[in-house]
Structure 1
Amino acid sequence: MHNTFSLRLTAAVATAVLLAACSNKSTPNEENFAAAVNQKLAASPEHCLPAASWPASSEPSDHGNPYAFYDAGIGFVNAGLATVKEEGPSASTNFRKKAIFSLTDEGKKILVREELQPYPKQETGRFCYGKAKLTKVVKWDAPVTVGNVTTTTVYYSYAIDDVPKWAENEQLKAAYPDLAADVAGKGQATQPVSLTSDGWQAAN
């Protein structure tokens, strides 16, 4: 009888300790790191393509060059965000053929303008396609303590909800690999976190 009571008591204590560890915000576990990442993502801006200035120009001969704008520009045209016309070769185009990409009314409507507009005859901005949502905490580094600060890095995957139709354009996804990964729900990112009196929090 005494042995049975001792075993039950030991099991109850072990369960209580386990539950306490699971609910402790300072424990380095998937639940706590997910909460820190979710808090960071909720406060983060939308994912956007790199900023560009419109009208934009490129050379048709740059087709296939990943460092040039031409293929991305054609993607914007196919997605209904821009139009294209060719000019030259002439003195005004340095005797080379140029493709001039201009925003459509739809493109102008959804372009997120940069606060700083560096070019007086161009409109600089980004096309944004949605906020990231955590899908899984993949892993984390072993926490490291330096002085009074304990930190680690969380690796996670995410997806974008309610992706706009233009972002599904195959030409744009080919020009912007990050967009392709995001739209496919295969986004990967890291988040530094630090241990505070309120548990694990995003470090930046």
Structure 2
Amino acid sequence: MMALSKAGVLKADPVSVTGWLGRRYPGHQYTPTDEGKKYITPEGTICYGKARLVKILSWDPVVNVAGTSFTKVYFTYRIDGLPEWALRPDVQATFPNLASAVQGQEHARMAMPMALADGHWQRE
């Protein structure tokens, strides 16, 4: 969280936290900055862009289970609207999944299960 604070996404206010047996520990209370509020979803997660399909690489053979067709599609992606703070080394070191997603753009092979519903393939 401190990396997001240094990046200007969150504000870190020092607080004292009561722990085991009433012992006090220093800590921080984090709140979104005005800039950070742009990236907080209604669910309370931090959004760092929107994935966009670049290329479908392949798909598994379609199987039919209980009358529904399924497959798995393999593809590459790009992240649209990627903010500068998501490119910071300290933020990427703190959030390895973010780093992996950012660094994997246009070459990481991703997979998504799909189901055929109402004549259209949809994410399962």
The verdict on a shared fold, with TM-score over 0.5 as the criterion, is yes
| Residue in 2 that maps onto 1:39 | none
Kept in 1, the 8 Å contact 2:39–2:48? The answer is no
Quick one: structure 1 residues 102 and 145, their matched pair in 2 at CA, closer, same or farther if it must change by over 3 Å?
Answer: closer
Going by fraction, where is helix more abundant, 1 or 2? 1
| Residue in 2 that maps onto 1:101 | 29
Paired letter, 2:11 = T
| Residue in 1 that maps onto 2:112 | 191
Q: May I ask how many residue pairs the two structures share in their alignment?
A: 119
| Residue in 2 that maps onto 1:112 | 41
Quick one: structure 1 residues 149 and 165, their matched pair in 2 at CA, closer, same or farther if it must change by over 3 Å?
Answer: same
1:135 paired with 2:63, answer no
Quick one: structure 1 residues 146 and 86, their matched pair in 2 at CA, closer, same or farther if it must change by over 3 Å?
Answer: closer
The 1-side partners of 2:15 and 2:66 are apart by 63
The 2-side partners of 1:162 and 1:182 are apart by 13
Quick one: structure 1 residues 161 and 197, their matched pair in 2 at CA, closer, same or farther if it must change by over 3 Å?
Answer: closer
| Aligned-pair CA distance for 1:76 | 0.8
| Aligned-pair CA distance for 1:132 | 0.8
| Residue in 2 that maps onto 1:117 | none
The 1-side partners of 2:64 and 2:26 are apart by 56
The 2-side partners of 1:112 and 1:83 are apart by 17
| Aligned-pair CA distance for 1:86 | 4.2
1:144 paired with 2:72, answer no
1:163 paired with 2:82, answer yes
SS in 2 for 1:172: helix
Paired letter, 1:182 = A
Paired letter, 2:4 = F
Kept in 1, the 8 Å contact 2:15–2:29? The answer is no
| Aligned-pair CA distance for 1:203 | 4.7
| Aligned-pair CA distance for 1:78 | 1.7
**Alignment identity in percent?**
32
Kept in 1, the 8 Å contact 2:113–2:123? The answer is yes
Paired letter, 2:63 = V
Structure 2 residue runs of 5 or longer lacking an equivalent are none
Range that drifts further, 134-143 or 157-166: 134-143
Equivalences for residues 28-43 of structure 1 within 5 A: none
1:176 paired with 2:105, answer no
Kept in 2, the 8 Å contact 1:191–1:202? The answer is no
Q: Which string of whole-angstrom CA distances, capped at 9 and with x for unpartnered residues, describes residues 136-156 of structure 1?
A: 223221222345433211122
Going by fraction, where is strand more abundant, 1 or 2? 2
Kept in 2, the 8 Å contact 1:74–1:171? The answer is no
SS in 2 for 1:202: strand
